[in-house]
């Protein structure tokens, strides 16, 4: 990093633009960039601002800061298994964030991903209890003597070095509610493609306890938001860059081929999908926009807006 002490996160006064406080938690541990947008919510009675750091850690801060121009950390969560490795070009298993954290019914949901130019690889999806404090990661890194490796001494590319006797142990203070995916490349390769969870650059969308997410390999996943149990998947046959949109009992998912797949809001695969010419298809069909769609469809004032690579569409019911 050319300026490792520069802040990666800052809070400003909305009206004056005055900087209230900053934080540079990733420091020189940023993997490739700080891509994620922050999320604000009141969780467990405590206002929190959630920041997906460029090091693959999700940080929660008190929005007021420490009163001296610095941050006040509430908790931090390592969204990569300690055994994961960062290898430039997407060939490793350690990831940062492109998506942002999503809050639903008091819980936090986050996916990991990478620069889309790096291709696709193993990803992770977490549901986190935001009421805990401190290091609430699933695992802790310890040295050959079983002594905790301090956070300040963590490495950029790997959390533990087995050759040096380092290992990961369970964190009794873990805030994991559930995990979705495969934690190692070996597990990923041993899983049928339709059940794999890959890197994602879009955020999840949740309604009625149903979570919808699209990974960069083009798989749409419907997951029980309470348990993390996979309900159904669908292969778009094209990369998905954006987040799903849930509106009016329907789920819209865009892909790089320019298709908008439309599913009913259901966890039942028999209702979500239908057979067309012997192939599975979204139950409510697909519409091609004529060019790649990298953005998330959005609704405002009963108008559906879709921005393709070269055209902005505004779609309204003729009635």
In a domain, 309, yes or no: no
CATH assignment at residue 60: 2.40.128.630
Per-residue pLDDT of the chain (319 residues; tens, 9 = 90+): 888 889 999 999 999 999 999 999 899 999 988 899 999 999 999 999 999 999 999 999 999 999 999 999 999 999 999 999 988 776 788 999 999 999 999 999 999 999 888 888 899 999 999 999 999 999 999 999 999 999 888 888 899 999 999 999 999 999 999 999 999 989 999 999 999 999 999 999 999 999 999 999 999 999 999 999 999 999 999 999 999 999 999 999 999 999 999 999 999 999 999 999 889 999 999 999 999 999 999 999 999 999 999 999 999 987 6
pLDDT for the residue numbered 253: 98
Q: What does residue 189 show for φ and ψ, rounded to 5 degrees?
A: -70, -25
CB 241 within 8 A of CB 215: no
C-alpha span between 70 and 202 (Å, rounded): 30
With b meaning 16 or more CB within 10 Å and e meaning fewer, what string describes 217-227?
bbbbbbbebee
**Reported pTM:** 0.95
In a domain, 55, yes or no: yes
pLDDT for the residue numbered 30: 92
Taking the C-alpha atoms of 116, 122, 128 and 132 in order, what is their torsion angle to the nearest 10 degrees? -100
C-alpha span between 268 and 53 (Å, rounded): 35
Q: What does residue 271 show for φ and ψ, rounded to 5 degrees?
A: -100, -25
In a domain, 307, yes or no: no
In a domain, 279, yes or no: yes
Provide the domain count of the chain: 1
CB atoms within 10 A of CB 301: 5
In a domain, 298, yes or no: no
pLDDT for the residue numbered 153: 87
Burial of 1 (0-12, 13-18, 19+ CB in 10 A): middle
pLDDT for the residue numbered 209: 98
3-state SS class at 187: helix
In a domain, 218, yes or no: yes
pLDDT for the residue numbered 170: 97
3-state SS class at 137: coil
C-alpha span between 291 and 307 (Å, rounded): 10
Q: Residue 213: which of 227, 233, 237 has the closest Cα? A: 233
In a domain, 317, yes or no: no
Q: Give the H/E segment covering residue 107.
A: strand 107-111
Q: What does residue 224 show for φ and ψ, rounded to 5 degrees?
A: -70, 115
pLDDT for the residue numbered 103: 98
In a domain, 45, yes or no: yes
Residue-number span of the structural domain to which 63 is assigned: 9-293
CB 80 within 8 A of CB 94: yes
pLDDT for the residue numbered 317: 87
């Amino acid at each position: 990093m050319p300026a490792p002490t520069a802040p990666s996160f800052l809070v400003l006064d909305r009206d004056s633009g005055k900087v209230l406080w900053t934080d540079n938690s990733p420091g020189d541990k940023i993997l490739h960039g700080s891509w994620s947008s922050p999320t604000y919510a009141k969780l467990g009675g405590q206002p929190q601002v959630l920041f997906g750091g460029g090091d693959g850690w999700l940080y929660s801060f008190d929005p007021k800061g420490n009163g001296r121009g610095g941050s006040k950390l509430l908790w931090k969560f390592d969204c990569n298994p300690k055994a994961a490795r960062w290898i430039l070009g997407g060939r490793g298993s350690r990831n940062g964030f492109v998506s942002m954290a999503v809050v639903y019914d008091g819980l936090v949901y986050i996916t990991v991903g990478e620069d889309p130019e790096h291709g696709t690889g193993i990803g992770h999806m977490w549901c986190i209890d935001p009421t805990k404090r401190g290091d609430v990661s699933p695992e802790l890194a310890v040295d050959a003597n079983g002594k905790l490796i301090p956070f300040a001494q963590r490495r950029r590319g790997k959390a533990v070095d087995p050759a040096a006797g380092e290992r990961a142990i369970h964190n009794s203070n873990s805030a994991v509610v559930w995990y979705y995916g495969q934690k190692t490349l070996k597990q990923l390769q041993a899983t049928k493609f339709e059940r794999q969870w890959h890197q994602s650059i879009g955020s999840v969308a949740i309604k009625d306890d149903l979570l919808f997410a699209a990974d960069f390999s083009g798989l749409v996943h419907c997951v029980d938001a309470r348990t993390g149990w996979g309900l159904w998947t669908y292969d778009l046959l094209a990369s998905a860059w954006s987040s799903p949109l849930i509106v009016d009992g329907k789920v819209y998912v865009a892909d790089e081929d320019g298709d908008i797949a439309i599913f009913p809001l259901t966890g039942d695969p028999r209702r979500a999908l239908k057979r067309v010419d012997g192939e599975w298809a979204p139950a409510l069909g697909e519409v091609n926009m004529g060019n790649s769609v990298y953005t998330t469809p959005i609704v405002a004032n009963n108008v559906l807006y879709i921005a393709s690579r070269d055209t902005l569409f505004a779609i309204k019911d003729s009635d």
